[in-house]
Chain A
């Protein structure tokens, strides 16, 4: 069966520090991968998606970037975090041609 792993679960970082959140999917190949952000008490905002290795599409101009170095690995990064980067980050995947989105357990990022 397919599983998605996302880590860390919580992270506290000072302003100006770098960021790296990792997400991996098991049990499937060539998944579509997504990074969403959820601000406190609000809905989900799509940040990045990827349909294949090295293919990244950005939905919102921001301080963040994403990379997909391997088929089932998706990384969210920042060189210098801002206070506004605080939030709950969710990784998700779908199979090719599938409309069902499956989510990781999320990372709560607090930038202080």
Chain B
């Protein structure tokens, strides 16, 4: 069974600053995907960024980037130039490629990020 742990229930950052959200996971799988999802106050789940485990290069999407450390089973999200609209709950998620056609994601418990003006 896979587990995803987000040890920071809440974080805050000043507008325009950089913040890093932590995520660790436990799995015996070798091939998998990792994701960060964002859930703003509207509660709509939005995919922020995706990382394939077989890729050594860290994924980047505009102001969002990850630090993927496969050996350490760590997958942190860095948000640069934080904006007020980044205020949301952020979820780390994992999916093993061996799950066949079902593609079941396992989610962490979330980190509530507040961007302060």
Binding site for B on A (CB under 8 A): 32, 34, 42-44, 46, 49, 51, 57, 59, 88, 90, 92, 94, 96-103, 105-106, 108
Chain B contacts for A96, CB-based, 8 A: 101
B68: interface (CB < 8 Å):
no
Q: Are the CB atoms of A99 and B44 closer together than 8 Å?
A: no
Binding site for A on B (CB under 8 A): 33, 35, 42-45, 47, 50, 91, 93, 95, 97, 101-110
Q: Are the CB atoms of B108 and A105 closer together than 8 Å?
A: no
Dominant SS among interface residues on chain B: loop
Dominant SS among interface residues on chain A: strand
Q: Are the CB atoms of B102 and A32 closer together than 8 Å?
A: yes
Report how far A104 CA is from B39 CA in the complex, Å: 12
Shortest Cβ gap from A109 to chain B (Å): 13
Chain A contacts for B47, CB-based, 8 A: 100-102
Q: Are the CB atoms of B50 and A44 closer together than 8 Å?
A: no
Q: List 14 A-B contacts (CB under 8 A).
A: A34-B104, A43-B91, A46-B105, A57-B102, A98-B103, A99-B33, A99-B95, A99-B97, A101-B35, A101-B47, A101-B103, A102-B47, A105-B44, A106-B43
